[in-house]
Structure 1
């Protein structure tokens, strides 16, 4: 029986859902048959949804590694030259034929990440529907990148915010900041209203 009084999504409910999940321990993509430590290699990324990877600065800047894994598209959610940003752009990947989308965002609760939800979701969807693989990254691959990946799952795969975050968290230790969780909750409530669920 349908819930007669559905509850709006809140940042607190999303945070609670994330905290209940311990991510699976998996080999570094591209090294499935070898035991390698991610961090001494200076890069870390995980496949969190078929063809969708979330990763850090080290993975994003290692073009040879990205080609080895088969990455065709990169979304840099931390483009810039400030602290905790990643100084890549379209030209950086030109020689390896990787398509690029950059977002200038700081990992602070007041940052307006929602302005990039549609563009990020469209870019990721185009990558996956064309048979590609996409790396969505920020500095550590925890907050900005996870938020954009979550918005993609909500906008293009019709997952609720909680289900989307749980899908990602099962595969990587993601942790969007409180402001980003608020913006994901707002998106979730908007989509639920459009579907007649709220």
Structure 2
């Protein structure tokens, strides 16, 4: 009897994260320097940047790099949230989408997969560049970006995690890894792979 495909687990995704050491690159727009703190964002897939609060709040820098869309996966005024909105980016003519989401394992990030993936896809399809950010740019933003790669670029969860991890030191919390694994299994069933 042939081996049947097995379900993806959060452990598989954690292993995928641990197998890749991200390459530290210069900050886009500052290719002559490497910054280890301050404004922080990385191009993790063509046109898709993942970053932190400092990158998100520096509109002049975003415009210089060519960012046309911003997806804030940590919108709000609570601890570890980012208090920007569409009005904040209006003068820069940057399209905005905000998600009120805390970086806790119990948060239901799956509810934002469709809208986040569509926003990113719309940005890239129109020739734009999108910054997906949260407070530190390692958990919420990385998870939504993985969902985009899975839904719109037909990657498995492992492939999506590894694609992003090659370019940025990401670490989605355990609850988000579990939700990505469940989502991966759902997509694989829909595609007839399971």
The TM-score bracket by the shorter chain reads: over 0.9
> 2:186 maps to what in 1?
190
TM-score, normalised to structure 2, is 0.98
1:139 equivalent in alignment to 2:135: yes
Q: Which runs of 5+ in 1 are unaligned?
A: none
CA deviation string 1:22-44 (max 9, x = no partner): 00111001111x224241xx210
- Aligned equivalents of 2:35, 2:168: Cα separation in 1: 15
1:111 equivalent in alignment to 2:107: yes
- Aligned equivalents of 2:61, 2:179: Cα separation in 1: 33
CA contact (8 A) 2:72 2:133 kept: yes
1:149 equivalent in alignment to 2:127: no
CA contact (8 A) 1:136 1:149 kept: yes
- Aligned equivalents of 1:52, 1:14: Cα separation in 2: 21
Output aligned runs, 1:31-110, within 5 Å.
31-32=30-31, 34-39=32-37, 42-110=38-106
> 2:29 maps to what in 1?
30
RMSD: 0.8
- Aligned equivalents of 2:126, 2:36: Cα separation in 1: 29
> 2:155 maps to what in 1?
159
CA deviation string 1:60-112 (max 9, x = no partner): 00000000100000000000000000000000000000000000000000000
- Aligned equivalents of 1:31, 1:105: Cα separation in 2: 31
- Aligned equivalents of 2:180, 2:66: Cα separation in 1: 29
- Aligned equivalents of 1:102, 1:54: Cα separation in 2: 15
